């Protein structure tokens, strides 16, 4: 049975990915901070014939990562999805609490989880596959997004270095870097201001979490000798972080 760990599975890309990868021959391990959503997702995953284990904790806490993840032992696939954007202001008006949330989740949380899971993969000696969810912001910084962009630049660099670190262990490392995806992302960024969040997608047809999940599924099912290092996905109305055509 293939064991798959998806972090940040309570909404958006994480939730869609956990459901897309669920099959009778899999155990899906889902993590997140909202227990009610994890429980609902667990039922949906089990309805697809998969085994499901839920872990209710915050990846920002290294102690919680150790407590919940070390007992798992080896997993075959890790999808590092947990992440967020908070705030959209010029650097001189930024909120340091938002900065801490982004760096602690997007960078340090990813590192805490990866250290534990990759170590178990290496010790088992059977390879594995790690996919990190980055962003086009990881190579295209934009106005008002200094710290979020910096966190995703870090994910991009960590992915590249991780691939080298784990190469001799036969562990594949890939990164998916989406452009505009309509999830709770913007609502979280604007601290629950739904009207402002909806404006981000006005006049465009963005990607959905299910689109990213489908790409991840494809990456994971390539032949053993093939790896996708870096996949950039955007809706057809977007040409980059700075160019979006709105009708």
Alpha-carbon torsion 81, 116, 154, 193, what sign? positive
Q: How sure is the predictor about 52, in pLDDT bands with cuts at 50, 70 and 90?
A: very high
150 CA to centre of own chain: 16
pTM: 0.95
Q: Is the pLDDT of residue 186 over 90?
A: no
Kindly state the average pLDDT of the residues 186-205.
Answer: 79
The full set of domain ranges for the chain reads: 2-244
Q: What is the mean pLDDT of the chain?
A: 95
- Give the whole-angstrom CA distance, residue 223 versus residue 18: 21
CA angle 73, 25, 39 (to 5 degrees): 70
What's the helix, strand, coil split of the chain in %, to 5? 45, 20, 35
Angle between helices 35-47 and 12-21 (to 10 degrees): 30
CB 102 within 8 A of CB 147: yes
Q: Is the pLDDT of residue 31 over 90?
A: yes
Q: Which positions are annotated as active-site residues?
A: 148
Q: Is the pLDDT of residue 20 over 80?
A: yes
Q: Is the pLDDT of residue 2 over 80?
A: yes
Q: How many residues appear in the chain?
A: 247
CB 104 within 8 A of CB 86: no
Q: How sure is the predictor about 35, in pLDDT bands with cuts at 50, 70 and 90?
A: very high
- Give the whole-angstrom CA distance, residue 71 versus residue 157: 29
- Give the whole-angstrom CA distance, residue 131 versus residue 110: 11
Q: How sure is the predictor about 163, in pLDDT bands with cuts at 50, 70 and 90?
A: very high
User: Which residue, among 163, 144, 164, 142, has the nearest Cα to 153 in the 3D structure?
Assistant: 142
Q: Which CATH number fits domain 2-244: 3.40.50.10860, 3.40.50.300, 3.50.50.60, 3.40.50.720?
A: 3.40.50.720
Kindly state the average pLDDT of the residues 101-126.
Answer: 98
Cβ neighbour number for residue 229 with a 10 Å cutoff: 11
Kindly state the average pLDDT of the residues 60-74.
Answer: 98
Kindly state the average pLDDT of the residues 32-48.
Answer: 98
Percent of the chain's residues with pLDDT above 70: 99
């Amino acid at each position: 049975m293939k064991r798959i760990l998806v972090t940040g599975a309570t909404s958006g890309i994480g939730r869609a990915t956990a459901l897309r990868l669920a099959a009778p021959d899999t155990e899906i391990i889902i993590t997140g901070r909202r227990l009610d959503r994890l429980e609902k997702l667990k039922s949906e995953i089990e309805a697809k014939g998969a085994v499901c284990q839920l872990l209710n904790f915050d990846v920002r806490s290294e102690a919680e990562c150790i407590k919940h993840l070390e007992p798992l032992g080896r997993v075959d696939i890790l999808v590092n999805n947990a992440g967020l954007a908070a705030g959209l202001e010029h650097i001189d008006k930024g909120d340091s609490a938002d900065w801490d949330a982004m760096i602690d989740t997007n960078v340090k949380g990813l590192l805490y989880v990866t250290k534990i899971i990759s170590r178990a993969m290496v010790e088992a000696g059977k390879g594995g596959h790690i996919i990190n969810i980055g962003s086009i912001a990881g190579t295209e910084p934009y106005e008002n997004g200094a710290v979020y962009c910096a966190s995703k630049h870090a994910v991009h660099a960590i992915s590249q270095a991780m691939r080298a670190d784990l190469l001799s262990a036969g562990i594949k490392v890939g990164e998916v870097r989406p452009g505009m995806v309509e999830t709770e992302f913007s609502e979280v960024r604007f601290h629950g201001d739904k009207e402002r969040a909806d404006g981000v997608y006005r006049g465009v047809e963005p990607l959905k979490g299910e689109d990213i999940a489908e790409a991840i599924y494809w990456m994971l099912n390539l032949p053993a000798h093939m790896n996708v290092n870096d996949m950039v996905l955007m809706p057809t109305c977007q040409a980059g972080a700075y160019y979006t055509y709105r009708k």
